[in-house]
Homo-oligomer: A and B are copies of this chain.
């Protein structure tokens, strides 16, 4: 049995049927497995992709990592996660480590606006558009904002507000507010906005709300928050102010996060298709012909009631779990 022919068998390259069987048998008996490192050295393909995220424990990133891992596994790839803790310098350091680690590509979700990516290495970004050469996959944030406005207005809201926190660096998620405000304006519904940044702390929303209290009642009847997390915090503040949700004011968040990862929603929300996001990212990353990939893929979002909106009777309560 010659080495070269054994290699062919292990790689599924046609070889004499009898020979093939004997090799397989011997491999089985000896517990032989191809050494991925030797193979990688020779072929320059490692069947490994990197995932760069700020954290693995925050629910959205955890869900994303989970789905990316599954999608890669399904394609015979492994995932190496790198966590940046929202630190732009750490993000750049990850890019360097990735070069060292000889991965075949990377899916990145970063907040460093001037990240230097290796033009040789396939990259896909999530929620952040870099350039036409780096495909970006994101939820339809603009459409999600519109959808939130539509749902609130359908449910009787006439004085709306948009609240956001998030990174200072511009990203696709900023379009949530744009879609929301645009829809409100097109329907002639008054809308206000308060856009803060992460460092600001959620307590800065309290003055905004307090200013809009008139005679013990809130002068708003619908609020769209840029994330479920923010919606949760706002609900807490409102409870402290004696404002009832959803009776006095209805609230819609964004993300579709669930308690314990798979139990109830935290609030009525615009759900991001996390699995689809991951699968699309992996597909774009691993596409054979990377010369003409779309610069941007926008995935449809959906609305799910989660207790912070007044639902029409026939709609029932929250419908189904999981995606």
Contacts and interface: CB of A to CB of B under 8 A. Distances in A.
A41 B102 CA distance: 14
Q: What band does the interface of chain A fall in when counting residues whose beta carbon is under 8 Å from B?
A: 35 or more
A100 B36 contact: yes
Contacts of A266: 259-260
A81 B69 CA distance: 8
Contacts of A40: 37
Interface stretch (A55-63, A105-113, A150-158, A291-299): A55-63
A232 interface: yes
B80 A79 contact: yes
Given A35-B41, A102-B35, A59 B261 contact: yes
A48 B58 CA distance: 24
Interface centre among A48, A55, A56, A62 (most CB of B within 10 A): A56
A70 interface: yes
A56 B73 CA distance: 13
B80 A261 contact: no
List the 7 shortest-distance A-B pairs measured between CB atoms, nearest first. Answer: A62-B62, A56-B66, A57-B66, A37-B40, A57-B63, A37-B41, A58-B261
Given A33-B100, A56-B56, 6 more contacts: A35-B41, A37-B40, A56-B66, A59-B62, A59-B261, A69-B83
